[in-house]
Amino acid sequence: MLALLDEQREFEGALGALARQQQMLAVLLSDELAARLSAVRRDALLVADDVSAGHGPSVGMRKAYPSIEVRGASETAPSVRPPRTMSVRVPSTEGRTVELTVPVAWLMGPSTRIERPEELVVLVRPPDEVLWQAADGRQIGSEPLTLAVNEGRDTTRLERDDAVVLGLPNRRAVAAVATTDGGPLGLWTTAVVASASQERDRWDRARGRLLIGVLVPCALIVAFGATALRRQRRELELEKQLALAALVRESDERLSRASRAATTGTLAMGIAHEISTPLGVIVGRAEQLATRVGEDPRAARAARTISEQADRITQVVRGFLDLARGGSPSLRPVDPGDVARGALRLVEHRFVAARVALVSLVDEEVPTLAGDLRLLEHAVVNLLLNACEASGPGTQVALSVRRADAGVDFIVEDRGAGIRPEDIARATEPFFTTKPEGSGLGLAIVHEIVNIHRGSLVLEPHEGGGTRARIHVPAQGEESSDA
């Protein structure tokens, strides 16, 4: 650890020395820039004199500068200039402004000789501008350099991302800045930025040597202990496999129990529906008879007995229906994420056995539902099992839970053979199936559960093949308004 601290101190010292070197370069380049700006100012004043004398700039001036503009005090400067150039505006004694477009390569002449690709870069920032100008014509924004100038610091350090923006390697860098007072031309700033990759590589090598010195003894200790741990690891692996097998059996049993209960509920609801119509006819006829028997006590008693027995049948059917359902659904606050996670746990082993990938995406902000967690979970389980059976090995089934229309959508998508449009209307009918070994009750169960929760079930072919099943359940508080 002490050796690592020593190496860290040496690394920091190397960065400090590198920063001082760049500071010296920045000062030298700033002096050179001041001399070249002075020459530009002199040429601008000569141009102003030529214009005052009634003739334009000389041929030599036009060859030296790509663009020469002389404007009055009220005229505005154009915003477009040739690439790889900078504009230098010089006020003349007669109220005019002479704008010379100067090639960047000439104004930053010495910089091109000291720049080294991926090691050192030189930048210049003209007065009243935010972007820095590179020798190759690039205009770059650098917040660390601008902050150092604003705070009056001569040196600063750049993080990896800031160095990459300047064209340096993805390593930390050090920079030095120097300001050039151009008089009427304003304050120009020169920045020299150097990558600290070599210093960082040296630090990484030292740290690597130290880590090797620590890891080798640790590796020897681990090697001696590996023999003793191997047998324990085999025993733990066996226990894990046994626990996994028990969990699979338990999940299968839970699925079987839930499926049997839901199937019984569906049959009970069908029986209740079929019996309710004739019972209604019987009760109606008994009421008609009761109004016509007059004073005949035997006929009145018979009509009353018919009504009482019909009511008894109704109560028996309702009791059987409640028993099959496990009691009336208890509508309580339900987290849609819990529904999805519970369903995934129940069917995960089925997908592993079928070699079908199962992915899920649950939005972070979905509203709370009012419903029965077990029923909603079972509805999603049925859709996932249908999708698994329709998918071949190597394919994928996706479960998505998202906010939609003042409620929540549970969407199951597979890439199987898909559902035919003519089968969609009958898919939720009990005992309708297109599978040779299907019972035809899965989607019927889902449909009934969704109806209990005042939701909707939509089946449709998926684009590109497969089926898309969507359950929509209104959010808590919305079901009462829908009712």
> pLDDT tens-digit profile of 343-385?
998 899 899 999 999 999 999 889 999 888 888 988 899 899 9
Structure confidence at residue 323 (pLDDT): 42
Phi, psi of 31 (to 5 degrees): -65, -40
Q: What are phi and psi of 173, to 5 degrees?
A: -140, 160
Cβ proximity of 59 and 81 under 8 Å: no
More confident residue, 136 or 327: 136
Instruction: Give 211: exposed, middle or buried? Use CB within 10 Å, 0-12, 13-18, 19+.
Output: exposed
DSSP code for 386: H
Strand spans (E) along 274-395: 332-334, 357-362, 369-371
Residue type at 373? L
**Biggest CA-to-CA distance, the chain:** 138
Categorize the per-residue pLDDT at 388 as very low, low, confident or very high, splitting at 50, 70 and 90.
Answer: very high
What SS3 state is found at 409? strand
What are the tokens at 453? 């929760």
Decide: 325 and 317 in contact? Cβ < 8 Å.
no
- What is the overall mean pLDDT for the chain? 80
Contacts of 376 (CB under 8 A, 6+ apart): 334, 339, 369, 449, 453, 473
**Distance of CA 201 to CAs 5, 7, 17, Å?**
16, 12, 16
Q: Cβ of 64: how many Cβ atoms within 10 Å?
A: 17
Does 28 have pLDDT greater than 60?
A: yes
The order of strands in the sheet holding 67-71 is 67-71, 97-103, 85-91
